[in-house]
Copies of this chain bind each other. A is one copy, B any other.
């Protein structure tokens, strides 16, 4: 089924770095880490305080990469608490782009980029796309959301740097996406894995035969997925599918990506220092074992992060890769270490939904979130127990309340949930009788 030749395997965007001697890489990492730590110590009050608390002076105390283990982790709450600009390491005047999370925390996590950061980012995405087979000859359709989230614009700049013909279709309107894919002769589709399958379903309905398309590659990211899903996308869209990894707080897309060997995602180790830890103890786990990915930026100017806990569970792969790249790899993201739920690429903290509901009538109703997959499309259903305050005699008023709830939650998280009012005893509970805040009915594994 694969239309590409081995020839593509030789394509490497930046062989000087991507095929670096490991010893030299460690030296480069050390120098860059020292520079980064000096910078945050000098420019970011948050880190200065943290470092001082443990008596850590970067220029004296960092002589080996392992010294980083003395430093405390940075959490998503730390970033959220520094809203909006407190963790920026340069004045706002030098910042040319601001992105943020969709705001499911009390405050969204805001990140900034200098002109140099945007260049770095574009280069990293160009590496990822090149390793996934993309060249200047390709027509690349980007179905990630453009806007405050980093997905769309992140991939866009990298694709443009390569010189591919970029179709910035952004999200939604599947029928139109398919028409564009067909008429514009798209060769590369960038999407979440589940949306790739939504497209495949819709093609079936419309009677579009994927073999008549020009599609060669599907570049996937943005949510947990499985090897079975990859196989299904490959077979149904008749194209080769690769995985890649990004996270806004670290840079966005471009942190790590699979080459065409598809045996784990190469971490861009000259720009990011990766650790995998036991989420409860914080101690490193051995290569090959599952743990939480922790990342430190080595070159970011506007928004460096030190030992950022991504919440994403994966394994480090140290065996050499046939592609020639020397960077270590991470396995597919196998889940989350925290309360965060990912639906349609949006991170949701179930607790925060309660805050939104509470504001509406001044009372926090019992509720639970349910992730549902219909066909290949994910939906969020919120089940809310009918309490005195939420109950109306008149159907019209009841429906108006549901509309308000849907609207307020949609405003908050950026996707529109289904709201179901149910009796309190119908909410699913754990063995202690507590309402289970989140039920995943998508059966990913």
A residues in contact (CB < 8 Å) with B: 83-85, 92-93, 95-100, 103, 110, 112, 115, 118, 136-137, 139, 146-148, 152-153, 160, 163-170, 173, 175-176, 179-180, 183-184, 411, 414
Contacts and interface: CB of A to CB of B under 8 A. Distances in A.
Contacts of A175: 411
A56 B431 CA distance: 85
B414 A96 contact: no
Contacts of A112: 165
A24 B152 CA distance: 42
A96 B159 CA distance: 8
Contacts of A184: 84-85, 98, 110
A99 B156 CA distance: 13
The 5 closest A-B pairs by CB, nearest first: A146-B146, A147-B170, A95-B165, A97-B166, A175-B411
B168 A148 contact: yes
A411 B139 contact: no
Contacts of A176: 103, 411
A102 to B, nearest CB: 9
Nearest to A107: B183
Contacts of A118: 160
Contact of A170 (B96, B97, B136, B146): B146
11 contacts: A92-B165, A93-B136, A96-B160, A96-B163, A96-B165, A96-B166, A97-B168, A98-B166, A146-B146, A146-B170, A147-B168
Contacts of A103: 176, 179
Best-surrounded residue of A96, A137, A164 (most CB of chain B within 10 A)? A96
* Copies, count: 2
Nearest to A135: B93
A110 B180 CA distance: 10
The main secondary structure of chain A at its interface with chain B is mixed
B139 A92 contact: yes
A139 B93 CA distance: 9
A205 to B, nearest CB: 13
Given A96-B164, A148-B167, 10 more contacts: A92-B139, A96-B163, A97-B165, A98-B166, A99-B168, A103-B176, A146-B147, A147-B169, A148-B170, A153-B168
Contacts of A84: 183-184
A165 B115 contact: no
Contacts of A136: 93
Contacts of A164: 96
Contacts of A411: 173, 175-176
A156 to B, nearest CB: 8
B170 A93 contact: no
Contacts of A180: 100, 148
Contacts of A170: 146-148
Contacts of A167: 98, 148
Contacts of A137: 93
A84 B165 CA distance: 13
Nearest to A175: B411
Nearest to A93: B137
A165 B411 CA distance: 24
B146 A169 contact: no
A115 B163 CA distance: 8
